[in-house]
Structure 1
Amino acid sequence: MATTNPLQFAQQVRAEIAKVVWPTRREVVLTTVMVLIMATLTAIFFFLVDFLIRNGLVALLGFVGS
């Protein structure tokens, strides 16, 4: 593995950082809103699945227990 001195390392780091393309404010807001919407939809989906399973089990146990 090649070794570099601290000055070369700092220059290489600056060169790599210059290549980074930062997202615009609009992109950040848009992706944040999309994540919040997807998280909300996922929460609603799992709530409904849990609700259906719970009611199904209550109905089944009520039917068997009677």
Structure 2
Amino acid sequence: MASKTNPFTFLQQVRTEVSKVSWPTRRETLISTAMVFVMVAFAATFLFVADQALGFLVGYVMNAGV
């Protein structure tokens, strides 16, 4: 079982580990966020078109026997 660490030591360890993290710049964050929105828009558009096309095809097949 792991030994218990007092809260002060734990917080010191957390600060040490967080200081090792390579944080992105503001510009990198904004570019990444914009790219996510663009990809979401493309995916939503593609899925919408695919859904409409499949719906049309299924409707066509279902009404073909009438």
Under TM normalisation by the shorter chain, which class is it? 0.7 to 0.9
* Paired amino acid for 2:5: T
TM-score, normalised to structure 1, is 0.82
Distance 2:54 2:33 in 1: 32
TM-score, normalised to structure 2, is 0.82
Q: Deviations over 1:2-54 (max 9, x none)?
A: 22223322221221121122210111111111111110111111111111111
Gaps of 5+ in 1: none
The reply to whether residue 63 of structure 1 matches residue 34 of structure 2 is no
Gaps of 5+ in 2: none
Q: Report the equivalent of 1:3.
A: 4
Structure 1 runs (4+) deviating above 4 angstroms are: none
Q: Report the equivalent of 1:45.
A: 46
How many percent identity over aligned positions? Answer: 38
Structure 1 or 2: more helix by fraction: 1
* Paired amino acid for 1:14: R
